[in-house]
Amino acid sequence: MNMRTMKKIFRIFLAYAACIAVTSCSDSFLDINAPSVSEQSFFTTENQANLALTGCYDILGWDDTNYFPFWLGDILGHDAYKGGEGPGDQPWIEPLLNFQYNAGNPGLPVPFQHYYFGVNRCNRVIDKVGAMTKEMIGDDKKAQVIAEARFLRGYYYFELVKIFGEVPLVDHLMKAGNYNLPKSSLAELWTFIENDFKAAADVLLEKGEQDVGRATKGAAQAFLCKAYIFEKKWPEALAMAEEVIQSGTYDLEANYEDNWKLDHENGIESVFEIQFTPSGTDAWGDDNEGNEFVIFTRSRNNGDGWGFNCPKQSFVDRFEAGDLRRDATIIDDGEVLWPGTDDETVADNQFSSCLDLYMGQKYQIPPSEWGLQSDDPNNWIVIRYAEVLLWAAEAAAHTGGDWQSYLQQVRDRVNMGPTPIADALQAVYHEREVELGMEGQRLWDIIRQGRGEEVLGGEGYVEGVNNYLPIPQSQLNFIDN
């Protein structure tokens, strides 16, 4: 059963939802058990274990969780203007644009709480399914469920560390009231993340052998590679990237733009993507199963959208002449979209906060395929095979290896010859900018590459001060700092 179907079933089981009660206004980053529900009576069958695991996946698609990549990655990375209706629209982002960080910023609790909700759900599955007997669940299925939960826990912690740096490490179910946890060191956190992805990769099936939307061996290996990249463990990163490459499971889509078409979801280039479907019960909030990111990034004028994440001219100028990725990433003002169809539209990007008159093309689909308001059907691609090739190129550049061969595979797909940039790392950095543009990567790349002040110093970035967002004050108050 694929993940989209399981998520629908998950919504129906209110008893389990009460068991893992989580609300957006919770004071704690750790949810606690509802006393009216017995977990012992719930975790007794394979179906129940699978349903609990689906609850771990569910948080990936929550509104406010899935669109944080562009709030932070593209806009704070200054590849895009904030956009929207103006400074008063999503005002919490305004001080961050100049890297004025404040723990009291009202936008910060969202990713912090949501990812810890995910951690706690995963800890529950690992603990409770781990205690199930053979009569309740077969050994292979038990190992599979726990491996998927460890993959997801590794993912949630990766995002927490990427955004907030040193955070509390919770690897078990917490007792009510026992929330006064110290922050763990980055070394401890990265080791924990590595171990979760390693454990997952040892058990999980390859793509094609696993239900669509679930974690796979290749996805766990790719995330482990990504962790090594952030840790600057270059030999390990190269070795892990090569494992994914040599598996033969993945390849580049023949046409770059096909990655974001509905009929190519979970395609050959997709290593891991978050599943969405426009079949929720509500156009707003976490009750729907659709992707809210899409309506955020459609034009305010004739795209029926909210007009955020407007690409800057400085980003558009990075594309080399003839690079097919430029038109697959950017919508120009006046461009004819979906020509010759009933959806044909002339792009109108002329609204006040779209300063350079560009909108993003990726994830934009014809109006006939839209969902209801914030309930769009597009999956969110977390890792593409092209990025694995670029990780291999970056790691090879750091270790004296053949970085050009990996880089050229990415360029060949869009009919680009050898890179004109002689310096290996600068060539890789440039290729990431244009290959992964408007995919929420920019800020994190600049920071981990140690180029924060070089690239963003003029916007106010200070190395050692702005590498991470502060832990939200509401959480510090709750756990006595």
For 349-372, write each residue's pLDDT tens digit. Answer: 999 899 999 999 999 999 988 877
Could you tell me which residues are beta bridge partners of residue 384? Answer: 270
21: number of CA atoms within 13 Å, CB side?
14
First to last CA, the chain: 43
Least confident of 3-12, 51-60, 413-422: 3-12
**pLDDT band (50, 70, 90) for residue 27:** very low
Q: What pLDDT does residue 277 have? A: 82
Length of the chain: 481
Structure tokens at 38: 């017995």
Check whether 316 has a pLDDT greater than 90.
Answer: yes
| Residue carrying the six token digits 């959208």 | 305
Q: What pLDDT does residue 295 have? A: 85
Classify residue 471 by its DSSP letter.
Answer: P
**pLDDT band (50, 70, 90) for residue 315:** very high
On whether the CB atoms of residues 331 and 224 are closer than 8 A, the answer is no
- Mean pLDDT, residues 242-258: 98
Higher pLDDT residue, 180 or 421? 421
As a whole number of angstroms, the distance between CA 222 and CA 160 comes to 18
Q: What pLDDT does residue 248 have? A: 96
As a whole number of angstroms, the distance between CA 423 and CA 426 comes to 5
**Phi, psi values for residue 310, rounded to 5°:** -85, 115
**pLDDT band (50, 70, 90) for residue 451:** very high
- Reported as a single tens digit per residue, the pLDDT across 114-138 is 999 999 999 999 999 999 999 999 9
Least confident of 129-138, 232-241, 289-298, 392-401: 289-298
Question: For the chain, what are the domain ranges?
Answer: 3-203+441-471, 295-315+343-362
On whether the CB atoms of residues 187 and 231 are closer than 8 A, the answer is no
As a whole number of angstroms, the distance between CA 381 and CA 363 comes to 10
Check whether 103 has a pLDDT greater than 60.
Answer: yes
Largest CA distance in the chain: 65
H helices of 253-324, where?
A: 293-296, 313-316
On whether the CB atoms of residues 366 and 341 are closer than 8 A, the answer is yes
Check whether 286 has a pLDDT greater than 90.
Answer: no
On whether the CB atoms of residues 293 and 67 are closer than 8 A, the answer is yes
As a whole number of angstroms, the distance between CA 417 and CA 23 comes to 51
**Phi, psi values for residue 363, rounded to 5°:** 75, 0
**Domain 3-203+441-471 belongs to what architecture?**
Alpha Horseshoe (1.25)
Cβ atoms within 10 Å, residue 224: 26
Q: What pLDDT does residue 220 have? A: 99
As a whole number of angstroms, the distance between CA 33 and CA 37 comes to 8
As a whole number of angstroms, the distance between CA 472 and CA 104 comes to 6
